[in-house]
Structure 1
């Protein structure tokens, strides 16, 4: 009997040994580098059913062995690797710049049940799974050290900085990681065709994050930069989305500054009380027209009480006034946006409603309060964006939208969304530190609608949230340039803007589409300096700080060598300015400069600076 047991053990070992040898013999690996050779990604099969990758940049290991792959009914068999490279240029309808290099090296690893496609760019990497939809994704981000990180946090101040090992719950992207003073990463997703939007599940007291999202057809993306500004300036998220169909015409999309009727409600100036109605709308259109602003956004309640199922988005409320303001706007070359929320969007035929808005001549739709799971909201967002495009309507999603993931490349009418805490919304206001955090985190995902640009710093008499704005007036103007959006929606009345003509000139000069953008300097949660070149060729630079005062030296090399002299209008906080005590103190200086010069500015606590360069 004892002999028989030994025989069974020997037979079992003999049976298992070929499988072990087979698993060892099936180890494969492939290395993909960025075009400039600074980023190295290695993918290898480490066991029969395990695929892992590592991410190295500037000769530093930043993400160590981390799992890839999907749960599959079959064992993984590494069939072949297909290599390719792309070097081209994307010319967006609008965006951060007019010419975007699209340059990467790619491998497609063919397995038994699916493929892993990996692309490596000079500013990061991306991978996706094709050929199989799975409930379980093995993707991990196993960081090489206990770095500091920040995260998106809905309509609240961002989470962070926190050590990776201290994350105690699921985190939402964008995730921004500081590995060293000259090494930053951002984790997000691109081209989410279907399935659950990306979430990041930390493993307690480690530096490993996994992906619990199910059935996701999307790119997983790691952006790399040597400064946090490099992450903002990247186009990696957009480039991973397909271009519009060749027959598509988006020349009607007009990005730019827009005025807004929601926060003017209740303001009084020169005996006139602003409301969300025709006479107030005309005044706003006149402001926009005089200052070459693109549009007026009409917010909730124009077709009846916004959350009532009885409010008909085609027939209700002030519909006749809407017809009149659209006609008035056409005379003044100002487009009119119309609000629609999920109650009206789902209780009335959506396709008919959006077609009618297009037939009326509206410029866009602001869609609010979408309900459903994140996966359902993503599908509905795609549907609305497509119908809006068919009816020549731009679109802005508000109130807990699905995070942007580069849709603006495929659908240039997707000009912005409230993927942030808006400036003075939800009966609260954000603090200076929130702005200089969100622009380094949320804005990596795409254009965001933050509603900056208030000039009445006290907001007395406003119907909604009449609270003082915690910034200086120069910071308010500066934030309109810093925040990337296809619709820069400013919230104040004409009289307040006309009171400060230099600051109004700075906002008016923000003529899109941008020819170029560059984050000159900045640190997450501390400060930022942003430069953008307007459609007319003029450059603008804006700076904003947190609660701390600071002095900055801004190099002007962004203007371009040999481009001649510029007249610079410099608006900065006054010596006694402070977001807590003296919000409106500022001074304006004019001087001639060239690209070899520097401009020294002083920012008050919660303050900012605005510089307009004209030839």
Structure 2
């Protein structure tokens, strides 16, 4: 490990000199250098060099507090320690089985020279794929509690990077990505959007992960890891000096953004650094900065594909609510049911039968419990849902028994309507019900403005709500797939029952968004931005792409082959076959790929790609050693070549190819798909044409 300490004496006059301690930390492969320093006023700075190019120039570190002097300057280094660490750990489920965790670290202890002589530690870790650093507030006599009004972490860039960003919204991540130069970012234009129910963008800032591409091929992505008991971080943009600066999500109920009792550690601030796009996806920096598994054996959860009562509601075929009325404070069947309720015993059994027949392990049931008549649009949503009482036409006992008989698991749904106090009070009861019926996964939702009023989805209050719900769920052997969530920050390593989450503009926007839905480029950006944070419950697999029978003005803006490819490209240990049963039964050939494709992987290879243009990923299924490949493109057609050198030596494989037909086009002819069966070896190569908005899916099995 190369770590050095230099004492540089700088004299600006005969009578004015100061000493500047400097620490340089180097990545294991010696391509990334991080330099820490204090200026003459005791203000801390860092700088990052990659392959001899400065990519983060001198950037300051510190805090503002509500009721005391800022941590800004007046520091001196009182101690430092260095270490090198190298391990390989196993994921219980994930993109790969084994993860290398190799870094060099320096911990620098700072103390104020005057006043209360308060202390602050800064820890830097340098990996081959980037940098992570965090602040540590140690136990000390003169500081017991901090009220942080702002964290002042700078990322000063040296180039006007091409940037893929969504606005720094305090409530949602469901914006379309914009692609602009850093100097042209204007998040404030996104404040009033026709498709978004609640949104708050207080300043020109971006949410993370935000990914940047330089003219010389350098790729950067800024995010955070191990977000616990702290506010989510947005990045305020200075378009003049080409800089990001941390801007924490706050609350309307307090003047501070974070309240913590010492000692504590902040989340890691992360910079993923590569010289190509595929290596961004391969990076495990975010995961490695989290603590190891605290739950122990989690074999009670099995990665799975699932179907469910969900898409039909977005299409308008059925509804979440039954048509009950509130009488004397209780939901009552007054005989006025509208007949469009989706979560009926009969309908759910139909999904169970289909799933059992097609190697699909779960069925999600939304709209099963009372309260949907008042779940949104009402100010006071506390007490609307109770998470245990089904509608009259849904027999929970009968459905769960039928599912067990068929070897299918029911996935629970908890829509909290962002009424956090109701959900917090009832979690034990709700999770106990799941445990009783053998349900090991729940999809939670937080649609609406947060209650109590004044809180935001991404502030400290809600970070604790999301994390505590998952930690409690583990006690009942329940895994959580959160929608309208806080961002993923790698906590799935520490709490593996945090299996997936939404946290992006999902498939449902194609069904009802008045702006034309998600453009073809959407997921070619998501793979290099949001997916760097962790698993995504995107709900792929829509076969009836133009759904004219329900909504003539909407469609999915991809080809059918693109939808199949998403099962490999977009990672999640749970993957939904989101379309209606009848649409799958009408297309048995492409359904074969969904039936075959895995969800839990021992290896992942990112074969090619460019941010926002296209990406090709191959993954090896852990339990079978079968490979599956997915490739997607944006609105531009392109020819790609697949190199199968990732396959094993001395074996012949059968490759079932699902590709765009000759006239395929995401809008003009999205269902044009061709099928081909080939014999290949690791020496094989395959040239394929991807249509506009198109894709490629391949199932690869040893003969």
- Given the two structures, how large is their TM-score scaled by the length of structure 1? 0.90
2:491 to 384, 397, 407: 407
Counterpart for residue 196 of structure 2: none
Counterpart for residue 322 of structure 1: 396
Counterpart for residue 676 of structure 2: 589
Q: CA deviation at 1:439?
A: 1.8
Residue pair 2:45, 2:58 contacting (<8 A) in 1 also: yes
Counterpart for residue 193 of structure 2: none
Residue pair 1:405, 1:445 contacting (<8 A) in 2 also: yes
Counterpart for residue 436 of structure 2: 359
Whether 1:52 aligns to 2:45 is: yes
Counterpart for residue 362 of structure 2: 295
Counterpart for residue 223 of structure 1: 272
Residue pair 1:519, 1:529 contacting (<8 A) in 2 also: yes
Q: CA 1:72 to 1:337, structure 2 compared with 1: closer, same or farther past 3 Å?
A: same
Whether 1:114 aligns to 2:120 is: yes
Counterpart for residue 450 of structure 1: 538
Counterpart for residue 332 of structure 1: 406
Whether 1:346 aligns to 2:421 is: yes
Q: CA 1:274 to 1:610, structure 2 compared with 1: closer, same or farther past 3 Å?
A: farther
- Structure 1 segment 131-280 matched on structure 2, within 5 A: 131=137, 133=146, 134-153=148-167, 154-164=173-183, 166-167=185-186, 169-213=204-248, 214-215=257-258, 217-245=266-294, 248-265=296-313, 275-280=342-347
Counterpart for residue 385 of structure 1: 470
| Structure 1 gap segments, 5+ residues each | 1-17
- Structure 1 segment 484-563 matched on structure 2, within 5 A: 484-535=571-622, 536-560=624-648, 562-563=649-650
- Structure 1 segment 90-109 matched on structure 2, within 5 A: 90-109=89-108
Q: CA deviation at 1:492?
A: 1.3
Q: CA deviation at 1:91?
A: 0.4
The separation in 2 between residues aligned to 1:302 and 1:84, in whole angstroms, is: 53
For the residue of structure 2 that corresponds to 1:388, the secondary structure is helix
Q: CA deviation at 1:21?
A: 10
For the residue of structure 2 that corresponds to 1:480, the secondary structure is helix
The separation in 2 between residues aligned to 1:319 and 1:95, in whole angstroms, is: 38
Q: CA deviation at 1:74?
A: 8.0
Residue pair 1:148, 1:178 contacting (<8 A) in 2 also: yes
Whether 1:40 aligns to 2:33 is: yes
RMSD: 2.6
The separation in 2 between residues aligned to 1:79 and 1:330, in whole angstroms, is: 62
Q: CA 1:546 to 1:356, structure 2 compared with 1: closer, same or farther past 3 Å?
A: same
Q: CA 1:73 to 1:222, structure 2 compared with 1: closer, same or farther past 3 Å?
A: closer
The separation in 1 between residues aligned to 2:607 and 2:216, in whole angstroms, is: 16
Q: CA deviation at 1:555?
A: 1.0
1:420 to 501, 504, 517: 504
Q: CA deviation at 1:183?
A: 1.3
| Structure 2 gap segments, 5+ residues each | 1-10, 64-69, 112-118, 139-145, 168-172, 188-203, 249-256, 259-264, 319-339, 376-380
For the residue of structure 2 that corresponds to 1:326, the secondary structure is helix
Q: Residues 191-220 of structure 1, C-alpha deviation per residue, up to 9 Å, x if partnerless?
A: 012221011111242211111224482100
For the residue of structure 2 that corresponds to 1:605, the secondary structure is coil
Q: CA deviation at 1:23?
A: 9.1
Residue pair 2:345, 2:394 contacting (<8 A) in 1 also: no
Residue pair 2:435, 2:476 contacting (<8 A) in 1 also: yes
Q: Residues 76-128 of structure 1, C-alpha deviation per residue, up to 9 Å, x if partnerless?
A: 11012201011101201111100000100000011111111000001001000
For the residue of structure 1 that corresponds to 2:557, the secondary structure is coil
Task: Report the number of matched residues.
Answer: 591
